[in-house]
Amino acid sequence: MNDVITCIICPIGCKIMVKKDRDKVEIVGGNKCKRGEVYAKDEALFPKRMITTSVLVEGGEWPLGSVKTSQPVPKEKIFKVLEEVKKIRIKAPVKSGDIIIRNVADTGADIIATRTVKATLNLK
């Protein structure tokens, strides 16, 4: 089976043609460097993605806080990761870099805050 994978390693965006046969990948052409070849093989066999989303924040200056995975996760686990993130609520204050969920969906990746959300002051 032949596929075309657009390389994202550098701005060139090579269209790399790969021939996939079960767990083997052969580069047919299109890459301009070795890094693109490695990327295309990994993408054809084990596609992974970084996930960015938001979580509910209680008592914060913002109702949502942005988060991301600490590393790319297997593409087939994206929806499981998002299900776990959707279930949580965090309490302000939250600092950028705080770990919100460790080893989310058994991927080895953590969910990390990417924005600081200060706690609101309750003046009564």
Tens digits of per-residue pLDDT, 16-42? 999 988 888 999 999 999 999 999 999
Same domain? For 41 and 82 the reply is no
Strands 64-69 and 52-58: antiparallel
pTM for this one? 0.82
Number of domains in the chain: 2
List the beta bridge partners of residue 109. none
Same domain? For 71 and 18 the reply is no
Name the band, by pLDDT with cuts 50, 70 and 90, for residue 122: low
Other Cβ atoms closer than 10 A to 18: 22
Residue 97 lies in a domain: yes
Q: Which domain holds residue 57?
A: 52-113
Confidence at residue 2, expressed as pLDDT on a 0 to 100 scale: 82
Which tokens sit at 32?
């301009």
- Extended beta strands in 32-108, E state: 48-49, 52-58, 64-69, 73-74, 89-91, 99-101
Residue 119 lies in a domain: no
- Extended beta strands in 2-122, E state: 2-6, 15-21, 24-29, 48-49, 52-58, 64-69, 73-74, 89-91, 99-101, 111-113
Mean pLDDT of 109-117: 97
Cβ neighbours of residue 122 closer than 8 Å, sequence gap 6 or more: none
Confidence at residue 115, expressed as pLDDT on a 0 to 100 scale: 95
Q: Does 123 score more than 60 pLDDT?
A: no
Query: Residue 89 sits in a domain of what CATH number?
Result: 3.10.530.10
Q: How far apart are CA 40 and CA 27, in angstroms?
A: 8
